[in-house]
Amino acid sequence: MWHLVKPARGVLRSSASAAVLESELDGIRAAGTWKAERIITSKQGPHINVDGSRSSILNFCANNYLGLSSHPEVVQAGIDALKSYGAGLSSVRFICGTQDLHKNLEQKLAEFHEREDCILYASCFDANAGLFEVLLGPDDAVLSDELNHASIIDGIRLCRAKRLRYKHMDLSDLENKLKESQSSRMRLVVTDGVFSMDGDVAPLTGICDLAEQYGAMVFIDECHATGFLGPRGRGTDELLGVMDRVHIVNSTLGKALGGAAGGYTVGPKPLIDLLRQRSRPYLFSNSLPPPVVGCATRAVELLLASNEISQSMTAKTMRFRNKMTQAGFTIAGSAHPICPVMLGDARLASLMADDMLKLGVYVIGFSFPVVPKGKARIRVQISAAHTNEDIDHCVDAFIQTGRKHGVVS
């Protein structure tokens, strides 16, 4: 077998294609935007073990908002599902890949979001990729915030609707785009509920007002809100009191709801029925594995039973934000547990993140193309599982590292 593989590698290395690839890679390294993958040798949580580090490391960059990815009941539910239903379905849903636990989770998610029905996907990226081309045709228009998630952008590219991009959270520009698209059969306003790089919350009240005024529908991606925003953790629409005015919600099981994988759409039953018939990521992707479904189901059940976990987030978030601001750092966003420490320079963000790890805090520098050029940052994410001591340790490490690099005095 080695004799078959080795020549192919040699051809690639000597070709013009290899030179192009190496040039691209060298450019990434030179710009200081190389994204190295650290190896975690423990389960996900507020404290993790990292390959090459001698002691436990404080984790401040996971999307594990509620600490449920290692919650004993969530883990046990996954084990039970594995034993009862097996490792996977080896099939897509409509052939022989639908189990009763898939339908049960869809029912609970619809109940959680107070919508008529729900459809599961392998990821929220797939949910976003599968929605727009089914819902919208060439006679329709989609109006999208310019900073929407990459999966929304890719999903919109797949549809044949007229595409209009409005300035970030700019209601005046959105209204202009609504006026411009008045001849369209259907119009869909599309926005992240919470924008993941900056932690800012979409102005949903104003968006819904404009949508109703101009006869449009509203879609939100709730990946960074489901489970912990709003009085009961239902998300951005609950936080801003517009649950009955937002028509379609996409979200994920891979963040607050157990942290494994999977995404979904909730909305009117006719839409969900149509997605089951025509949504390509749903029709052509394997069913979610039973252990993943088991874990997510238990996570949703915990949140349906109590809002205690989600309500612990606010004070911890503000503790970090206030202490960091007092120390002289610039923190983007407002009250969301995504707390971007703005640094500007990509290389600086990477070096500071490396130095933070030496001080026992796991964070990652974000730079282009994940964020715009000149807006590099370290995105800190607060979890309900963090203690006040954890937060204070993180702030102290930032202060030490910030002084070393001249960011704060």
Catalytic residue list: 196, 224, 255
Structure tokens at 228: 């912990």
Cβ neighbourhood burial of 29 (10 Å; 0-12, 13-18, 19+): exposed
φ, ψ of residue 43 to 5 degrees: the values are: -70, 160
Contacts of 84 (CB under 8 A, 6+ apart): 290
For residue 380, the Cα-to-chain-centroid distance in whole angstroms is: 14
The C-alpha atoms of residue 298 and residue 306 are separated, in whole angstroms, by 13
Give the three-state DSSP class for 354: helix
Structure tokens at 343: 């640094």
Structure tokens at 253: 């099981």
Closest CA to 48 of 38, 39, 62, 58: 58
Where are the alpha helices (H) located in 256-334, listed in sequence order? 269-278, 280-283, 290-305, 308-311, 313-326
Integer CA distances (angstroms), 189 to 22, 108, 151, 216, in order:
41, 26, 16, 7
- Contact in structure between 170 and 313 (CB atoms under 8 Å): no
Residue whose structure tokens are 């290899």:
18
- Contact in structure between 210 and 182 (CB atoms under 8 Å): no
- Contact in structure between 316 and 384 (CB atoms under 8 Å): yes
- Contact in structure between 395 and 60 (CB atoms under 8 Å): no
- Contact in structure between 258 and 68 (CB atoms under 8 Å): yes
Structure tokens at 231: 């009085």
